[in-house]
Structure 1
């Protein structure tokens, strides 16, 4: 599912972000990089700078459910022995969220799918909150909660089924989900963002998915070069201007 939203949704800010982070990396490290360029390592330095934006991630990036599991152990069992030092502040923030919002998890990290629309994914959590909402919760541990989170939440919500512990497919509609939240977990706390995850957002997810799937075959729209039909008799002996030092033109 992430591949669909990732490929089908324009990200106009991403090139600017990547350029900014690459420039920052050069400014911060020029004393080390400049001698390497002068000594003939220009290509290596180029690759390092080009990839720098994607290496500057927080320790928690992409580990939302790991943090959730550790937070549950900390909140309900007082167990902090298994928490890596670099994640401790994030786990505490997550535990605060669970406690403050009275989160009672019903499902966590379950596979969902839609045969109708041909997609599948793994949702983060469905939980009952203290206000009695049955909510779909997605953790975000990067720089913010982005629109893709709402698209994915709608896709999870309107999936045909989820797979329970016994391997059975259970209709998603039986869960009675009425709300969705993106929870931004940071080292200094958390922020809960309500997500629009209704039918209109689901249709937008389907639109984005259609673009992503279409993009995979765009290269098929351009065919190999051809010659005019009346040149077919030159197939064995192409016209002179299509021969040369590079050899005959491939027909």
Structure 2
């Protein structure tokens, strides 16, 4: 029912209106989902059940976060939020954007070039319009698989990150080597080969690590397991890159 309702709303309501009214609609919807079986790390909503999405991910009925959002917020809040921390976030989920904006001790900037996300700026990741050494923390989740010149994007991320700063990065992953083929330009071909119409490659963990190291980053691979109460997915991988 949830997925059908969402589809109808997106067909009938302009995106800018959806962004404004979504929190209120979710508040109403979540009333029937209250319980004690689960807890969202972002909005602290206690739920009797998550919303199961078609891709098997678990959605918070109150704020709309998915599993990777909830884990990322917990990691960032515990390890990286320090007074005056300057954060750059590329195309964040709406649940994360709203929560990060509530944090009083950080300077948070969200960027989105596509217009599909709420954002403060429109930075091209291959040519970021900021001075070098600007950010303490950069969040780059499910972005680089969209970027043809990904190594230039990585170089820019390295440039604008402060010395000793941290980049948290995640993409879809596969075993073996990176798979990319720039002759595949149609949405049909990209969906078939890369899993989504606007993806241009599938990284392996080792391949992404190597490319990040080539531009100067030091890399730590973080592995996480399933956690039912918070709705965290199993075998989740995050690359922690430091300058």
For the criterion TM > 0.5, the same-fold answer is no
TM-score (norm 2): 0.29
Larger proportion of strand: 2
State the structure with more CA Rg.
Answer: 1
Larger proportion of helix: 1
